[in-house]
Structure 1
Amino acid sequence: MNHAPTVKLDADRLEQAVASVLDAAGLPKIVQAGHPVLRARALPFTGQLSPDELGRLIEIMTETMRAAPGVGLAAPQIGIPLQLAVLEDKYEVDADIAAARDRAPLELFAMLNPRYRPVGTELASHYEGCLSMSGWQAVVDRAAMVDLAYDDEHGTARTRRFSGWQARIVQHESDHLEGTLYIDKAHTRSLAAAAEYSERWAGPGIAAARAALGF
């Protein structure tokens, strides 16, 4: 991780943030880079929410993620400083791109208090984006395989192994809960506006972008 965020969080702020989302009439806004909550280590879940509240929050986060659309959403991205994220990847992808990125469908799941560790030393380098950095993409080197330890919404401790694009999603969302954005780990010379990325660099690999942009 990069430098430790210094933003201070407390139980009152968590309670207020959760209430604002649960009581709202529509889906919450996804906050953008520059919002302090994205640079704070989220509070561990220790039972601050009732099972009903937690279930409702997960449902709202899932709807928000799908509406964006995205493949993951961490609670800080809707202003809630809690170590909670939802992940799902069931989009149809070009076969060549799916093969190059080792991208397979990921069934919906929620993770609380996640911690991941790389398995082996292999890295995968691909463009990725973030719902909290709308309109931009950059290349990030990520562990090709990780072991994830987390609690599910029922409080059961679980461990799972992920590889390929699924491992990238797990790392990206877990990083959010530590106050880390993907740009902190990206090759900044690869940074591309959405239109440039779509026109030039949205192919299966990054070789052309690497050669042209010099990263």
Structure 2
Amino acid sequence: MYVIGLTGGIGAGKSEAARIFAELGVPVVDVDVISRRLTAAGQPLVARIGEAFGREYVTADGAMDRGKIRDRIFSSDADRRLLESILHPAIHTEAIKELESYNQAPYQILAIPLFFESNRYEGIVNRTLLIDCVEENQISRVVNRNGFTEKMVRSIIAAQASRSFRRALANDIIDNNGSIEELEQKVQQIHEKFIQACAVSE
């Protein structure tokens, strides 16, 4: 099982890159998708979140209120760590299950925004691919895509590892300051590199 850890700061284009890899036929396990699934209506983790933070952080239909939780955890490191202690072990378990189900593929993508902030997936990932862009692009993309305020985006960026830290640790880097078409070309190129590397290692 050869796993590429796909990571990047908010707004850098990690999810768009993951989509392109999926279109190329590469299995993609996305921890954000798993997180949303585990915090949907009726999921057991939602009850634990309600107990830890209060019922006002659970919607009427029984899902985690992502907006309210986001506002709270990015104004308190302690609350962010508390939420992570509830979510991350369960997400990790589900991610491993999904990866094992695709273990016949030449390689897989594990999309995880906070890869370098934690050692939770170090023993699973064979190589890391960082999607990166300048901070101004991060901010404008998230403001336009999610409707967040610039202040909120900057607080999220501040809670993540710095660009220089991620760039120093990543095995491969795609700079994503251009168009979608340019990103598609770069992903295609590195996909071919990964396929060749996996063929050599067999």
Tell me the TM-score normalized by structure 2.
Answer: 0.28
Q: Which has the higher helix share?
A: 2
Q: Which has the higher contact order (CA 8 A, sep 6+)?
A: 2
Q: Which has the higher strand share?
A: 1
